[in-house]
Amino acid sequence: MEFIKNGKRIDKRLPNELRPIKFEVGALERADGSCYVEHGGNKVMAAVYGPRAVHPRHMQEANRAIIRYRYNMASFSVEERRRPGPDRRSIEISKVSREAIDPVIIKEFYPRSTIDVFVEILQADAGTRSAGINAASVALADAGVPMRGLIASCAVGKVDDTVVLDLVKEEDNFGQADMPVAMDVRTGEISLLQMDGHFTLEEFEEALQLGKEGCTTIAEMQREALVQKYQGEGHE
Ligand code: UDP
């Protein structure tokens, strides 16, 4: 498969270009915080509940809130119908996504509580864990959960021996490498980094740099979406 022609990718993007991204803050009425994200062909909803009481109670921590994160792919979100319910992949993604957002949440403010994050993938086109983390991060802020910053995430990879930002499904499935990254762009702290495939050391460094730039752009969009919703509020 040929991925790059005349310097352009299969969806006409440049190697260092993100897909179009749109955040809608507070899309759900019944959640404490929510965010709907469209990221290229991905459509993702994140809902946050809490801080609230922990059930079952034996899971509670005396000095801090616990964070629970459920990533779920709808059966209709992918080309080949997915069997509903958790599988190895979604359990793994839930775990790494929880660890990705955890460092910015000030858990000590809410002992014996839980903050529950639900991420539903309604339509998938590669990079769903990143889109989910981006949505979750904004939904947490929308819920008023105290945070040190926002976590932004995107994938980088390699196709036709070229390092590219934000893979589409064909690039993810048939390319040479796929590396999702999540970070707090204020501190530069990376809270998720996974890799499928192979990079040389130079390619890895180039990919990491490109990933950081992608996260910086996304973090600005997240901030912008929150400002849009909340500017003016609290002054009446
Ligand atoms: N995918 C699929 N069926 C599945 C799982 C994944 O069609 O059961 C597709 C989907 O488009 C997904 C992509 O493969 O976004 C890449 O999946 P991966 O496991 O790399 O996670 P992601 O890139 O979505 O975080």
CATH number at residue 180: 3.30.230.70
Pocket perturbation via mutation, ligand 1, pick of 121, 169, 170, 171 by most ligand atoms within 8 A of CB: 169
Could you tell me the distance, in angstroms and rounded to a whole number, from the CA of residue 180 to the centre of ligand 1?
Answer: 12
Q: What is the mean pLDDT of residues 152-175?
A: 98
CA gyration radius, the chain: 18
Closest listed residue to residue 21, CA positions, set 224, 169, 206: 224
Q: Whose CA is nearest to atom 14 of ligand 1?
A: 126
Please determine, for residue 236, whether its predicted confidence score (pLDDT) is greater than 80. no
pLDDT of residue 93: 98
If you take atom 7 of ligand 1, which residue's CA is the nearest one?
78
Provide the pLDDT for residue 234: 61
What is d(CA 37, CA 22) in angstroms, rounded to the nearest whole number?
Answer: 6
In-domain check, residue 149:
yes
CA distance 211 to 25: 24
Q: Which two tokens stand for residue 133?
A: 């983390």
Task: Provide the residue range defining the domain that includes 91.
Answer: 21-235
- Residue 181, pLDDT > 70, answer yes
Please check whether residue 16 lies inside any domain of the structure. Answer: no
- Ligand 1 centroid from CA 38, angstroms: 16
Q: At what angle do helices 88-101 and 128-142 cross, to 10 degrees?
A: 50
Q: Average per-residue pLDDT in the chain? A: 97
Count of domains forming the chain: 1
- Tokens read off for 18: 């993100």
Q: How far is the CA of 36 from the centre of ligand 1 (A)?
A: 19
* Nearest residue to 127 via CA among 90, 155, 165, 89: 155
Residue at 14 is within a domain = no
C-alpha 173 – ligand 1 centre gap (Å): 8
Closest CA to 86 of 59, 119, 57: 119
Q: Is the peptide bond before 86 cis (omega within 30 degrees of 0)?
A: no
Q: What is the pLDDT of residues 182-235, one digit of tens each?
A: 999 999 999 999 999 999 999 999 999 999 999 999 999 999 999 999 997 765
Give yes or no for a contact between 32 and 48, defined as CB atoms under 8 angstroms apart.
Answer: yes
Report d(CA 50, CA 113) in Å as an integer. 8
Segment 36-39 long-range contacts (CB within 8 Å, at least 24 positions apart): 36/135, 37/131, 37/134, 37/135, 37/138, 39/127, 39/130, 39/131, 39/134
185 touches 219 (CB < 8 A): yes
Which atom belonging to ligand 1 lies closest to the Cα atom of 131? 25
Q: What is the pLDDT of residue 232?
A: 72
Ligand 1 proximal residues by C-beta, below 6 Å: 78-79, 82, 89, 124-129, 169, 172, 178, 180
Does residue 7 fall inside a structural domain?
no
Instruction: Give 67's strand partners.
Output: 115
Distance 126 CA to ligand 1 centre (A): 5
Instruction: Decide if 97 is inside a domain.
Output: yes
pLDDT tens-digit map of 81-132 = 999 999 999 999 999 999 999 999 999 999 999 999 999 999 999 999 999 9
Question: Is 113 a domain residue?
Answer: yes
Nearest CA to ligand 1 atom 3: 78
Residue having the nearest C-alpha atom to atom 22 of ligand 1:
127
* 40 located within any domain: yes
Our CA angle for 108, 120, 54, nearest 5°, is 35
In a domain, 44, yes or no: yes
Query: Would you list the DSSP string of 88-137?
Result: HHHHHHHHHHHHHHGGGB-GGGSTTEEEEEEEEEEE-SS-HHHHHHHHHH
Ligand 1 centroid to Cα of residue 90, in Å, is 10
